[in-house]
Amino acid sequence: MVMKKLCQLLNKKEDELFNELSSTFKKKITQWSYFINWKKVLQNIKPIEKELNLLNYLIGKNNLQKETVDLLVKYPETIKAIPLLLAIRENSLEVLIDTRNFIYREFDFSKRKYSKEEIKSFADFILKSGLGELLKGKKIKNLVDYATGVEVGLDSNGRKNRGGSLMENLVEDFIRDTCKELDIEYLPQATAKKIKEKWNINVQVDKSSRIIDFAINKNGKLYFIEVNFYGGGGSKLKSTATEYIRMNEYWNEQGIEFIWITDGAGWQSTLKPLREYFDKADYLLNLEMLRTGILKRILNNGY
């Protein structure tokens, strides 16, 4: 029977249950932690804060080339702070300086000692990269503040990953409360090794790098939970549904119950692959179903 276990548990027909699930997806799960990881930003600034303050000396200097060389000669450690000022994570770069003959100049920002010629090349780097104009024209007031802003910009690239973490955090709140109430244990980011170490249960995995978002152990019976949120559509949704059909079969063959918890407005335009999963698996849930206590009912039902 299609979705036999969940349909029986809720006493609902397949179409009724799927329509209920697909009509209650959340549009957004944005939380305060989504915007900027301030702890990470400040941690990245702290190791070079002294060097940035030394470079502040260059702000407003007219003879910037000479002043930069003099400063870097006296404080070569300031060189390691240069990449961040240009939103660069790499410690070394090759810059094409001759576009006719394809001649490159290499810049290594991680060395402890530099020759006078290398120092001059880094001064040249600052000027030609555009930083020189900002410094000379006093368009930057403080390089620590400026670098903090750069870090904020770089950190914003991580919002996509944080979106996934937000969903995991939301779901974990429900899992934690449910497991505490039922006096059972769960593991976040579970691997076969962790499961063996914690519960002495052997699990066969399809690949050594397999990480399960959450594993729940109820009296030796395992429940594996995968979690994701899709705010927008795309081919990723279809491939995920296809992968989870196979994953559901793989875990079921080992007597493990597989629960997929997914949500997001992205599914509204990609319902067909979700329905395909729904028709072939036992448990497909969204956040609204979690809110109504369905996880406790599944675990209490003893399938």
3 pLDDT more than 60: no
Q: φ, ψ for residue 164 (rounded to 5)?
A: -65, -40
Q: How far apart are CA 58 and CA 54, in angstroms?
A: 8
pLDDT band at 208 (very low <50, low <70, confident <90, very high): confident
Q: Which residues make Cβ contacts (< 8 Å) with residue 22, sequence separation at least 6?
A: 267, 268, 271, 274
215 pLDDT more than 80: yes
Q: How far apart are CA 18 and CA 35, in angstroms?
A: 33
Quick: pLDDT tens for 117-130.
999 999 999 999 99
The tokens describing 198, both together, are 């914690």
- Greatest Cα pair distance, the chain, in angstroms, is 81
**What pLDDT was estimated at residue 162?**
63
Q: What is the mean pLDDT of residues 258-264?
A: 96
164 pLDDT more than 80: no
Quick: pLDDT tens for 27-54.
988 778 778 889 999 999 999 999 999 9
Q: What is the mean pLDDT of residues 59-65?
A: 94
Q: Which of 227, 45, 70, 261 has its CA nearest to residue 142?
A: 45
User: What mean pLDDT, rounded, does the chain reach?
Assistant: 92
Q: How far apart are CA 2 and CA 23, in angstroms?
A: 19
Q: Which residues make Cβ contacts (< 8 Å) with residue 62, sequence separation at least 6?
A: 136
82 pLDDT more than 50: yes
CA distances from 255 to 6, 216, 243, 248 (A): 17, 13, 19, 11
Q: How far apart are CA 128 and CA 67, in angstroms?
A: 15
**What pLDDT was estimated at residue 172?**
96
pLDDT band at 161 (very low <50, low <70, confident <90, very high): low
**What pLDDT was estimated at residue 2?**
43
Q: What is the mean pLDDT of residues 159-185?
A: 88
Q: What is the mean pLDDT of residues 65-92?
A: 95
Domains and CATH numbers, the chain: 4-33+159-301 (3.40.1350.10), 38-156 (no CATH)
